[in-house]
Amino acid sequence: MTKMQRLREIIAGLLMLLCAALIMLDPEDGYITVTVILSVSLLVFGVRWLVYYLTMARHMVNGRWSFYTAAFLIDLGIFTGSLTDVPRAYVMIYLIAVNGFSALVSLLRVREIRSLGSSRWRFVLAQGITGVIMTIACIVFYRSISTVTLVFGIGLAYSACVRIAQALRRTAIVYIPS
Amino acid sequence: MRGDFHYYATYCAALLAGYSSRESCDICYAAQLPDFATVTFLDRLHAPRAAATTQSPIELADVRTDRLGLQDITRIWSSFHFLPYDLTADPGKGGKTYRRKYQLICKPNGELLRHTVELARGRGLEATGLAMHVLADTWAHQNFAGTPSLVINNTTAYFYELIGPRENPERRRIEFHRNPAGGDDLDLSSYVNSVYQPSESSIMNLGHGRAGHLPDYSFARYVYLPAWANYDEVVKDNPSDYWHAFTQMVYAMRCLRTGEPFELNRYATDEVAEVRELAWDILTKRRLDASDDWCALGEQLSGEKVEPFDLELHQQEYCEAEGQAKNDTYLGRFIRAALAQKGMVTSRIYDSGSRLAGFSIDHEPRNLGTLVAFLKRACQKEGAHD
């Protein structure tokens, strides 16, 4: 990773941390922020798909599907942005499904990774347990708007931390000169 | 390619190149090991993770496909399984990113293959075996790249197996399914492949995943549409490719044994003449694993029993060695060879202007962190483990 790329990743991570903090500090109003973030994210994804289609996918066999995906995401982004109130139940079901599934997969992997002799199983177990806690929190506080925003905020903060950590990692590999 | 070719066929090739049975065993073991030396395997031995030559499905499922993760994947798969053919290739279409990925497409007889074989010279039988793995895979895995890329590695449903006489084969539609437990059914031409993922960098778009194990079967002949080939039908003739791989391995190992310089597009046709008919029969027979026949051919050539591949074989020796003595064990030499190969390929990709495989330590000497790491290792003996 070049210095510029590292800087870009760190800035993106810090911005994500800022958003996560804003959401978690004021969960009630944070709900609108979540909707805006979702809308902007979909638009950004849509535009990225469009750029991907123009620069790469149109040269590929069956590449037109990338164009359809771009059009769909941009449309969805605009639609999400136009909503003033997304039914809370949908967001909560989404969060329960995502966290629950991810936790289940992590826990199932622990045994296999451990049997292979890797020390990485502890990290995966921790991920699984965190996922279970998040899922239980979502189910118990199903009606609470604060929980939705809090869980979303924690997820955002986690992604931000991982991004910053990746940017600070040593990237060169050691090899024996020929 | 599978163990039948990487292990047993390499054993036969080493014998034909003039190595003894004992030496041939060491070579073919190292030729098979790149398919097993995962980070998990190295962790178990407390060996350097940087020497990983492959990634298990479980590791791939865990890997992050961010820039660093992709670079790590590209270093491993481009260095050992999909050696790039031409790092200056111009597809005549697409932007810079497209061109960089196109340049990683694997094909036989590329300049990097010559560097790979020359790099193995004087580094022991382990390095020779490792180079033979890379060489053989350039034939089997051609037309795919060792980096996750939809625009390069994707295929369509247009897949037909060519069955019957070579001159006028029958075309049979290939059906792919996504249930690994179901396995490949040769009678129905039904094969497992990776799930279609429209994301450019999805791990499902790494190497020949979208074509299943078809490139790994020596008998397979098929036509398909690679994503990068402008809707041109490509014919993949595995028996012919595997035969070329076999004869080129014999030639390459003869060069390494005798000190003769290795040249591209040269094959040891004379040395293999005595086994041509037998080997061709093995290559063209429809079955999932040809190990038994290759093993029998090897035993016929050497007159000695060939033990099956045992992953545990050299582990105790490595684990019991202390400090620098590890470098003098079988696995220690293999690890050094793997680090050298990975470093060489990474450097070449970097030198071509591409950052898809990251960069090696000598390319960023002004960075304090890497400078410290570099100096630390420079004080140690050559090949000190990370």
Model pLDDT for residues A64-118, shown as the tens digit of each residue: 888 998 998 899 888 877 765 666 667 667 667 777 887 887 788 787 667 655 6
Compare A37 and A65 and report the one with higher pLDDT: A65
Instruction: State the pLDDT at residue A144.
Output: 76
Nearest to A172 among B40, B230, B364 (CB): B364
- B58 to chain A, closest Cα gap in Å: 8
Give me the numbers of helices (H) and strands (E) for chain A, helices first please.
6, 0
Across the interface, do B358 and A113 touch by the CB < 8 Å criterion? no
Query: Residue B160 forms beta bridges with which residues?
Result: B173, B223
pLDDT digits (tens, 9 = 90+) for B268-313: 999 899 999 999 999 999 999 999 999 999 999 999 999 999 999 9
Distances (CA, A) of A12 to A25, A143, A160: 20, 32, 8
Write out the two tokens for A72: 């769909």
Instruction: State the pLDDT at residue A138.
Output: 77
Nearest to A176 among B355, B363, B383 (CB): B383
Pick the residue of A48, A51, A54, A60 with the most B CBs within 10 A to test the interface with B by mutation: A60
Q: Where are the alpha helices (DSSP H) in chain B?
A: 3, 10-16, 21-32, 39-45, 57-62, 67-80, 96-102, 111-120, 125-140, 150-153, 238-258, 276-284, 291-302, 315-320, 330-351, 368-378
Instruction: State the pLDDT at residue A159.
Output: 76
Confidence of residue B365 (pLDDT cuts 50, 70, 90): very low
- A47 to chain B, closest Cα gap in Å: 14
Kindly identify which residue of chain B lies nearest to residue A45, measuring between CA atoms: B199
Kindly identify which residue of chain B lies nearest to residue A51, measuring between CA atoms: B95
Token look-up 């992953």 returns: B311
Instruction: State the pLDDT at residue B234.
Output: 95
- A122 to chain B, closest Cα gap in Å: 14
Highest mean pLDDT among A133-142, B97-106, B376-385: B97-106
Nearest to A178 among B229, B344, B346 (CB): B344
Across the interface, do B360 and A175 touch by the CB < 8 Å criterion? yes
- String of DSSP letters for B287-337: -S--HHHHHHHHHHHHSSPPPPP-TTTTHHHHHHS-GGGGGGSHHHHHHHH
- Mean pLDDT within A147-155: 76
From chain A, pick out residues whose CB is under 8 angstroms from the CB of B361: 172-175
Question: How many percent of chain B have pLDDT more than 90?
Answer: 75
Cβ atoms of A166 and B68 within 8 Å: the answer is yes
From chain A, pick out residues whose CB is under 8 angstroms from the CB of B75: 173
Pairing status of strand B155-163 against strand B221-226 = antiparallel
Instruction: State the pLDDT at residue B359.
Output: 74
Helix axes B21-32, B330-351, angle to 10 degrees: 50
Mean pLDDT of the residues in chain A: 78
Q: Where are the beta strands (DSSP E) in B122-279?
A: 155-163, 170-173, 175-177, 190-192, 221-226, 234-237
Q: Is the pLDDT of residue B319 over 80?
A: yes
- A57 to chain B, closest Cα gap in Å: 6
Q: Which residues contact B228 (CB under 8 A, 6 or more apart)?
A: A59, A60, A61, B91, B102, B105, B151, B152
Confidence of residue B381 (pLDDT cuts 50, 70, 90): very low
| Furthest-apart CA atoms within chain A: distance in Å | 64
Highest mean pLDDT among A49-53, B178-182, B263-267, B359-363: B263-267
Token look-up 């941390």 returns: A17
Question: Dihedral of the CA atoms B107, B110, B113, B119 (nearest 10)?
Answer: -150
Write out the two tokens for A155: 């997820």
